[in-house]
Amino acid sequence: MQAERADAILGFLALADRLKSVERRGRVVLPDGATRRENSAEHCWSLALIATLLHQDVAGPLDLGRALMMVAIHDLVEIEAGDTFAYDAAGRATQAAREAAAAETVFSLLPPDLGARLRALWEEFEAGETPESRFAMACDRMQGFLQNVLSGGIAWREHGVTRADTAPRMDPAIAVDPAFATLIGRLYERAEAGGLLGPAP
């Protein structure tokens, strides 16, 4: 490997390390009962674990390696664009444009072949048209929902999120495969039993 390529890869990895400082709205409950915001790198790790656990439970052929690559890079744009809360309508209105601009910055730091490869994977995840991207999307949305259940719905309550508010986000994940329908259905049961989602308006 040439020194120039090595330096570009190391520079990109240094940038990617900043994902650890991008905070999400979901909360992590600490052993002493205190909470803090989850960061996007933790989210990606949890998402990768979910994908690893579930890939054999979904119907049809699935390239787990490709799905995991998408999981690893799908939120790198947040280093430049920031995290967009799923229930922030104003933020979501500008999310696509902000993240596309961030993708130009982030992936251009890599050697051209690697930058093009990662950019293509990011675009595949965003488009959601392949089995791997739909699987990764379902894992992504399930992870966010799971994190809210595990933390007692703190972020949901802070923002007045109701079950109806979650449907546009969770219904596409549920539709990916019966395995997701079962798991997310169980999470809804726990959320409702614990009063974690706000009452319908």
pLDDT in tens, 46-95: 999 999 999 999 988 899 999 999 999 999 999 998 888 888 888 888 88
Rounded to whole angstroms, what are the CA distances from 28 to 49, 72, 173?
16, 20, 23
CA separation for the pair 42, 93 (Å, rounded): 25
Phi and psi angles of residue 61, each rounded to the nearest 5 degrees, phi first: -70, 145
**Does the pLDDT at position 200 exceed 80?**
no
CA distance 19 to 23: 9
- Whether residue 25 contacts residue 85, with contact meaning beta carbons closer than 8 Å, is answered with yes
Sequence-distant (≥ 6) Cβ neighbours of residue 101 within 8 angstroms: 80, 81
What are 92-131's pLDDT values in tens digits? 888 888 988 989 999 999 999 999 999 999 999 999 999 9
Average pLDDT of the segment spanning 135-153: 96
For residue range 7-16, list pLDDT tens digits in order: 999 999 999 9
Q: Give the tens place of pLDDT for each residue, 150-187.
A: 999 999 998 899 999 999 999 999 999 999 999 999 99
3-193 folds as Hypothetical protein af1432 (1.10.3210)
> What is the model's pLDDT at position 201?
65
List, in sequence order, every beta strand (DSSP E) within the chain: 23-29, 35-39
Residue 38: what are its φ and ψ, rounded to 5°? -70, 145
Tokens 């965003």 belong to 126
Give the residue extent of every domain in the chain: 3-193
